[in-house]
Structure 1
Amino acid sequence: MLEITGLVAAYGPVRALNGIDLSVGQGAITAVLGANGAGKTTLLRTISGLLSPAAGTVRLAGRDITGGKPEDLVRLGMAHVPEGRGVIVELTVEENLRLGGLWRRDRAWLRTGTTAMFDLFPPLARRRHRRAETLSGGERQMLAIGRALMSKPRLLLLDEPSLGLAPRTAAQIVATLSTLRTESGLTLLLVEQNAATALSIADRAVVLNLGRKVADDEAASLAADDRVRRAYLEM
């Protein structure tokens, strides 16, 4: 689904990514792990078009999308849920969801899609007419994910979906991501500070350190690798 070769990204003179190679299989969950400053968020921003790469290529289902505009990449089947649970707080829950599907110009999907999101995230259904500013942190994260899913993506990029959430809420969201992959075949690229959580649902994982890839293996193998766990994952 996603093939990255030699990806380089920089903020001024500082290289945040230095020659990253990454392959994400269709229908798989791939975790991107590493300490703060490793380049995880920069990787997602570069893939989704929020940051232009200095070098390298990004291919989505075989199509070169390097440096593409974010809105064009959404139309090609990519959705990005950035860190920070970004929702439009002045809009209601339902309005936020409908906004995520507007570009499809499919009135039927706006109805059926919002219903599907309420089924996926029941707390949102109970608050569908409330402004997003009234939601808890966990509910805002559900809304951010639901809004991204309203674009019917083939590939979903998620940046720290459990950050700052209560353990029970974080576990519910992680379980939902696993369900999405199982039931709809959605491909996920997941950045997560909690390595144990990410490895528990991922098929494969890569570890970044200071903008370079230092490990790339099946999730179970990385979870059992004491050297990687001690050096990079704080496990």
Structure 2
Amino acid sequence: MLEVRGLAAAYGPVRALHGVDLHVERGSITAVLGVNGAGKTTLLRVISGLLPPKAGSVVLGGRDVTRRAPEDLVRLGMAHVPEGRGVIVELTVEENLRLGGLWRRDRGWLKTGTARMFELFPPLAERRHQRAEALSGGERQMLAIGRALMSRPELLLLDEPSLGLAPRTTARIIATLRALREQTGLTLLLVEQNAATALSVADRAVVLNLGRKVADDDATRLAADDRVRRAYLEG
């Protein structure tokens, strides 16, 4: 589904990624782990077209999409939920969801897709006519994910979906993502600082440190690797 080759990126003179390689199998959940400043968010921003790379390539479904605009990547089957639960607070829950599917030509999807998001995230159904500013942090995260899913992506990039949420809310969101993968074959690239949460759901995991890939293995094996956990996943 996704192949990243030799990806390098910078913010001005500060290099944030150094030749990162990444391979994501179709229908899998791949976690990107590391402490703050490891380059996780930068990696997703480059993949989704929000930040141009200094070097390297991004291949989606066998097609080179390096430096393509974010809106082009959405049309090619990629959706990105950035860190921070960005929703449009002036719009209602239902309006936010419909916004995620407006570009699609199958207009019937706006109705059926919205109904599907309410099935996936029941708290949103109860607040469908309320403005997003009235939602809790967990509900806003559900709405951000639901809006991304309204574009019917094949690949979903998620940046720190558990950040600042209660454990019960995090567990609910993770369970929903796992069910989506099993039911629809959705491919997920998940950035998480909470390694235990990510490894519990991922098939494979990549560990970044200071913009470099330092580990890439089956999630179960990485979870059992005390050396990797102590060196790169704690602190």
Alignment partners' CA distance in 2, 1:177 and 1:70: 23
The answer on 1:137 being equivalent to 2:137 is yes
- AA of the residue aligned to 1:114: T
Aligned to 2:51: 51
The answer on 1:98 being equivalent to 2:98 is yes
Aligned to 1:217: 217
Aligned to 2:159: 159
Alignment partners' CA distance in 1, 2:143 and 2:106: 20
SS of corresponding position for 1:103: coil
- AA of the residue aligned to 1:152: R
Across the two proteins, how many residue pairs are aligned to each other? 235
User: Counterparts of 1:178-189 in structure 2 under 5 Å?
Assistant: 178-189=178-189
- AA of the residue aligned to 2:193: Q
Aligned to 2:12: 12
Aligned to 1:168: 168
Per-residue CA deviations over 1:167-189 (Å, capped at 9, x if unaligned) read 10011001111111111100000
- AA of the residue aligned to 2:52: S
- AA of the residue aligned to 2:202: A
Alignment partners' CA distance in 2, 1:175 and 1:181: 10
Using the TM superposition, name which of 122-131 and 103-112 deviates more. Answer: 103-112
Aligned to 2:149: 149
Shift in Å, 1:134: 0.1
- AA of the residue aligned to 1:122: P
Aligned to 2:205: 205
SS of corresponding position for 1:104: coil
Alignment partners' CA distance in 2, 1:224 and 1:167: 22
SS of corresponding position for 2:164: coil
Aligned to 1:113: 113
Structure 2 unaligned runs (5+)?
none
Aligned Cα root-mean-square deviation (Å) = 0.7
Detail structure 1 runs of 4+ shifted over 4 Å in the superposition. none
Shift in Å, 1:13: 1.0
- AA of the residue aligned to 2:27: G
Shift in Å, 1:106: 2.2
- AA of the residue aligned to 2:34: G
Alignment partners' CA distance in 1, 2:78 and 2:95: 21
Alignment partners' CA distance in 2, 1:85 and 1:213: 27
Alignment partners' CA distance in 1, 2:78 and 2:22: 16
Q: What TM-score, normalized by structure 1, do the two folds share?
A: 0.99
The answer on 1:126 being equivalent to 2:155 is no
Shift in Å, 1:105: 2.8
Per-residue CA deviations over 1:135-192 (Å, capped at 9, x if unaligned) read 0000000000000000000000000000000110011001111111111100000001
Aligned to 2:71: 71
Alignment partners' CA distance in 2, 1:160 and 1:32: 10
The answer on 1:26 being equivalent to 2:26 is yes
Shift in Å, 1:107: 1.7
Alignment partners' CA distance in 2, 1:86 and 1:12: 25
Shift in Å, 1:233: 1.0
SS of corresponding position for 1:142: helix
Aligned to 1:81: 81
- AA of the residue aligned to 2:73: L
Structure 1 unaligned runs (5+)?
none
SS of corresponding position for 1:106: coil
- AA of the residue aligned to 1:202: A
SS of corresponding position for 2:71: helix
